[in-house]
Chain A
Amino acid sequence: MSLLSQTRHLLKKEILLEWRSKYAFNGVLLYIVSTVFVCYIAFNLSAGFTESKGYPIVWNVLFWIIMLFAAVNAMSKSFLQESKSRLLYYYSIASPQAIILSKIIYNILLMSLLSILALLVYMLFFTNTLGDALYYFVIVLLGSISFATVFTMISAIAAKAGNGGTLMAILSFPVVIPVILLLIRSSKVAMDGLERGLTYGNVGILCAINVIVIGTSLILFPYLWQD
Chain B
Amino acid sequence: MKFIYQTWWKVLTVLVILYTLFAGLLLGVPRLPIMHETIRNVYFHVPMWMAMFTVFTISVVYSIKYLMSGKPEHDLIAVECANTGVFFFVIGLVTGMMWAKYTWGEYWSNDPKQNSAAIAFLLYCAYLVLRNSIDEEQKRAKISAIYNIFAFPVMIVLIMILPRMTDSLHPGNGGNPAFGKLDLDNRMRVVLYPAFIAWSFMGVWIASIRYRISLIEYKKNAID
**A and B: partners?**
yes
A residues touching B (Cβ–Cβ < 8 Å)?
153, 157, 160-163, 167, 170-171, 173-175, 177-178, 181-182, 201-202, 205, 209, 212, 216, 220, 223-224, 227
B residues touching A (Cβ–Cβ < 8 Å)?
67, 116, 119-120, 122-123, 126, 129-130, 133-134, 139, 142-143, 145-147, 149-151, 153-154, 157-158, 161-162, 165
State the majority secondary structure of interface residues on A. Answer: helix
CB-CB under 8 A from A223, the residues of chain B are: 67, 142, 145-146
The answer to whether A174 and B154 touch (CB under 8 A), given A157-B147, A201-B165, A223-B146, is yes
Provide the bound-state CA to CA distance between A5 and B190, in Å. 60
The answer to whether A170 and B126 touch (CB under 8 A), given A161-B133, A224-B143, is yes
Q: How far is the CB of A129 from chain B (nearest CB, A)?
A: 27
Instruction: List 16 additional contacts besides A161-B143, A163-B133, A174-B122; criterion CB under 8 Å.
Output: A161-B139, A162-B134, A170-B129, A174-B119, A174-B123, A175-B123, A175-B150, A175-B151, A175-B154, A178-B119, A178-B154, A205-B157, A205-B161, A205-B165, A216-B150, A227-B139
> Would you mind naming 21 contact pairs between A and B with Cβ atoms under 8 Å apart?
A157-B147, A163-B133, A167-B129, A170-B129, A171-B130, A174-B151, A174-B154, A175-B154, A178-B116, A178-B154, A181-B162, A202-B165, A205-B157, A205-B161, A205-B165, A216-B153, A220-B67, A220-B149, A220-B150, A223-B142, A224-B146
State the majority secondary structure of interface residues on B. Answer: helix
Chain B, residue nearest A215 (CB): B153
**Contacting residue for B126 out of A174, A209, A212, CB 8 A:** A174
